[in-house]
Every structure is written in structure tokens, then in C-alpha cells.
Amino acid sequence: MLSVSGIHKSFGGVQALADAALDCASGEVIGLIGPNGAGKSTLVNVISGFLAPDAGQVVLDGALLQGRTPQHISASGIARTFQNLRVFRDLTVRQNIEVASLRARQLRRDGPPMLGVDALLETFGLADRMSDAAGALPYGTRRWMEIARAMATGPRILLLDEPAAGLNDEESDRLHQIITRLRDLTRIGVVVIDHDLTFINNVCDRLFVMDQGRLIASGAPAAVWRNPKVIEVYVGPGTGTGATPAVELGG
Amino acid sequence: MTEYLIQQLLNALAFGAEYALIALGLAVVFSIMGLVNFAHGEVIAASAYAALLFAGLGLGAPLLVIGLAIAAAIAVSVTLERVAFRPVRNAPVTTGLLTAFGVSIVLQNLFQLLISPRPQAFPALNGLNATWHIGPWAVSSLQVMELVVALLAMLALGGFLGRSSLGIAMRAASRDFATVRLMGIQANRVVAAAFVISGALAGIACVFILARRGGVTPDMGFSLVLKAFVACVIGGFGSLFGAAAGGMLLGFIEVGLLVLLPQEMGGLKEALTYVIVTLILVYRPEGLFGSRRDLGDKEF
């Protein structure tokens, strides 16, 4: 399981993360939400090794990972996707996923259950397009491929950075099904960042709400949305306790 | 007349094949790590001196010499990567370029000091250079072999990059090394593979140069690598197909000028070659088969 605690990170004089935290057990889907600038992406960059935190711990199954390189963290079992899809455009869909599976096949022969390249193509509905160049895929399909590629590294934790951005309702539903299916098949933990709160409420078991670099609430979605601090951040100050925020309608 | 034209066609193909082999050696490394390896010519020369050494030790049978020369080129290429290029891998591009020039100069001088600045005779492969009579035409066996071997090497390289796992990883790395590393693939493995391939291509080129010249000099590779560099530029730097095509095209331009120019203007061959190259670049600055890289969004 992933446990992140006490993360501080400043850029110059700006404190981007102040005591940020989250945790995600295997087989769990958690959502990381908060207004723009809350520090969600910074936290994901710290967890995946793109940024070294000033203080705090990132622990995956007992191993300390903070400050390690992205390569090391990826090999340790944390995979991520990017807001801007970084696919290998010249390679076919199948080859994109194959590249990602190379190292995992060597590293984790007897690790947690892993989906093979064919199973991933099937799960993500990419089988009939597997010979197409990845650069030629429509946006939505490219996104499936990027998630499939992250899964091919055989992760224990999958970080999805705005996976629903740019997807239509139908594709969002499909993303929901895919995340649930992946979780059920492999028992990985999934951390989802997204602005689509309907999607987040539907797919996540627990939510972590950030504001100004701090964790302000966490727990089951229904409880989180009753939290006055969360209401204040999302609906505005002075709304008071007990009000039903508009966003909850989506859940 | 027909025989003359056929002979010149074969000349162009053979020269082109040699440039293509060497250009591919440059392009494979460049596409992965953005390094223009000007020491590639010294890999060729080192491989030739190694063959000379082996022949001196009595290992002079042609097939054995060929095998040993290619093995030596691979060993030298991989060693250079470990010793010279790995330490500057994350440095700016110009640092790599200067390192490659430095390595090239150091090696050439070592050959001069430790062996000799003068050409060393190398007759072991002269047997490859015969005249074959195909129908009514007499052709150089060496040129035919060079063409065939270069084509086979390119096919093998294409197959490797298209089918094998490591080859696919190399193609991915040539586009976006950072993301490939995120997939857990070790950079060292991909880079080493590029230098092995580059070394093997240098070794193959070395065998043909040796057979044609019958001798070894410290600077035997350097001028050819400059030509190969030009071939890469014409074809589009970073594109393997472009490197091969650029090499062939350069062979055709040179031989074409030789055929077309009156004898007293033969000295202008090089100058006109580069005029043509310049014209190509004016109209296609990215090279004939190069594409502007999508740099994409490289932030997190």
C-alpha cells in the first residue's frame, strides 16, 4: 500500500505543498481533488519522483521512495499517466504497450498478478487497432493506450492525472468501467486526479481534498462532501454546515 | 558505352552503399542520444589496425579477418561509449560533440605514435577484389559484395528495429527517451545496443575499405565519416532511412559528377557536390526524409 505523509514543497517563496498526505490501499480507488493550484499535480509529481519533496515521506509497501528517480519509482511499482499524453507516436499501439512491459516482465516474475500485452489490448478495447501507429489514434483512444501502457509496467499503484479530461460522457463511463475492472483483476491501488467531480464521486472509494497545498479532508465521498471545509472551498465561504453542495448531485 | 554506364552505375551504388553503412552507424547513435559521433571513423580505423594485428599473429584467413574486424569494431565502439560518452550523456549537446572530436583526435594521434603515421599494407583481403564476368560485362566483385552486404545489413537492422523488443525500445527511445526510462527500461541497455549496432556497421564498412585499399592509415575513417555526416544531413539527421538514402544519393552525386564533368574540371567534383548538397538543404532544411521532431510538451 501507498502511504504519503507530511510532504512539504516550496518553489522559491511559494509553498506549493504544506503537510500534504494521502494513502491508498491495494484494491482501492482514491480521488485527489481540490481547486486549481491546490497542489494536486505537484503531489503526484512528488510521488512519481519528478520532484523531490523538501520534507515528508512516500512509502510503498515499506520502501521509502521520496527523492528517488522516476525510473526507480516506476520500477518499484508506481505507474503514472500524464495530462498531456506522452505516447510513442511512430510505434504501433501494440508496440507502445510492449515497450512498457519489457522491464516489468523481467522484474516481477512472482509479483502481483499482471496483465499481459494481449489482455491489456482486450481490456482497453484496443485489439482491433493494435497495428495502427499511436500518433494516428483519436484522442480518446490515445488515452486508453496511455493507461494501458502504464498498466503494462505491472504497477501496484496507478496514478491517473486527469484521465477524464477531454472525454465525452460515454467515454467517461467507459473509463469508470475500465478502472473498476483493472482494480478487480489486479488488486492495484488507483489514485485519480480529476476536475470532473461526477466521475470522481462515481469511481472513488475515498476522496482526499486539497486546498493551498494542504490536505483539508479525506474519507468516503458522502462524508467528505458534508465537511464544512470542503463546502467552503468548493461552494464559497459562509455557506455553513449542512448545506448540500451542488456537486453532490453528481454522486 | 553501355558497359561504361553500367560500370559507373555500379560505382555509384557501391560508393553509396559504403556511405550508407557509415551514415547508418552515425544515425543509430544520434537518434537515440543526440550525439554526432565523429569518432566513428576512428572505430573503423581501430578495427582495421586490429585486423592488421590479428593477421600479423597468423589469423589472416579472409573469413577470420572479417569476423575479427567486426568484433573489434563492436568492442571499440562499446568501450568508447563507456569511457568517453557515458560521463557526458546528460551534458549539453555541444559537450558530446566536442567529446567526440576529442576522442577522434586522440585516437588518430595514438595510431600515429604507437603504430605509424605511414600506411600499413594489408593484403589479407585482396582476394575479395576480383573481376567477375556477368554476361558480357566485367564487374568488380568487391563492389557487388559491398552493395549486397550493405543491403542485407540494412534489412537486418530494419528487422531488428521493427520486431525485437530491444529494437522497439530503441525506436521509442529515439522519440522520447525520458518516457522510455519511465517504463523502467534501462538507459544503459538501449544506449549500449545503439553503440553495438553502430560498431558492427563500422566493422562491415572497415572490411570493404580494407579490401579496396589494401592498407591501413590513421585517418582512413575520418574523411569517410565527414562524407557520412553529409549523407545524414541530406537524408535528415536522426532518420535511419534518411541516412541510408542520403548515403546512396551522395554516391550518385559524386559518380554522376565524375561522369558528366569534362576531365579538366575533375577537380571541381567535391566543390560541386557540396553545392548540390547546399541546394538540397535550401529547399529541404530538415533533410529529404527528416521530420521536424515534435518536441511535445516536455514538462511533467
> What is the tens place of the pLDDT at every residue in A152-167?
988 999 999 999 888 8
pLDDT at B295: 44
Contacts of B172 in chain A (CB under 8 A): 88, 91, 95-96, 99
> Is pLDDT of A105 > 70?
no
State residue A2 phi and psi, 5-degree precision: -95, 130
Which neighbouring-strand residues pair with A15?
A10
The single residue listed with the C-alpha cell 571513423 is B41
**Mean pLDDT, consecutive 10-residue segments, chain B of 300 residues?**
84 94 94 91 96 87 91 97 92 91 95 92 84 81 92 93 89 84 83 96 95 91 92 89 94 92 85 91 87 44
Look up residue A49 and give its three cell numbers. Answer: 519522483
Please tell me the pTM assigned to this model. 0.81
Q: Is A153 close to B183, i.e. CB distance below 8 A?
A: yes
CATH 3.40.50.300 in chain A: give the residue spans. Answer: 1-77+157-171+183-251
Q: How far is CA B145 from CA A24, A181, B130, B197, B204, in A?
A: 63, 57, 11, 20, 11
Domain count, chain B: 1
Region A25-34: mean pLDDT is 93
Q: Would you say residue B262 lies in a domain?
A: no
pLDDT mean over A60-89: 87
- From chain A, the residues in CB contact with B186 under 8 A are 71, 103
- Per-residue pLDDT band for A112 (boundaries 50, 70, 90) equals low
* Helix, strand, coil percentages for chain A (3-state, nearest 5): 40, 25, 35
**B-chain residues within 8 Å CB-CB of A74?**
181-184
Q: Nearest residue on chain B to A84, judged by CA atoms?
A: B297
Q: What is the C-alpha to C-alpha distance for residues A47 and A3, in angstroms, rounded to an integer?
A: 10
Confidence at residue B177, expressed as pLDDT on a 0 to 100 scale: 82
Higher pLDDT, A111 or B300: A111
**B189 contact A CB<8A:** no
**Contact (CB<8Å) A88/B183:** no
A45, A88, A103 ranked by CB distance to B176: nearest = A88
Q: Residue A92 forms beta bridges with which residues?
A: A133
Provide the mean pLDDT of chain B: 89
Strand partners, A30: A191, A206
- CB-based burial of residue A226 (10 Å sphere; 0-12 exposed, 13-18 middle, 19+ buried)? middle
Q: Is residue A251 very low, low, confident or very high in pLDDT (cuts 50, 70, 90)?
A: very low
User: Which residue segment(s) compose the domain that B117 sits in?
Assistant: 2-221
Q: Which three cell numbers stand for residue B192?
A: 549500449
- DSSP, res A207: E
The answer to whether residue A114 scores a pLDDT higher than 90 is no
Q: Grid coordinates standing for B105?
A: 583526435
C-alpha cell at A219: 474519507
- CATH number assigned to the domain covering A1-77+157-171+183-251: 3.40.50.300
Nearest to A158 by CA among A142, A168, A146: A146
Residues of B in Cβ contact (< 8 Å) with A75:
184
What is this model's ipTM? Answer: 0.71
- All cell numbers assigned to A67: 527523492
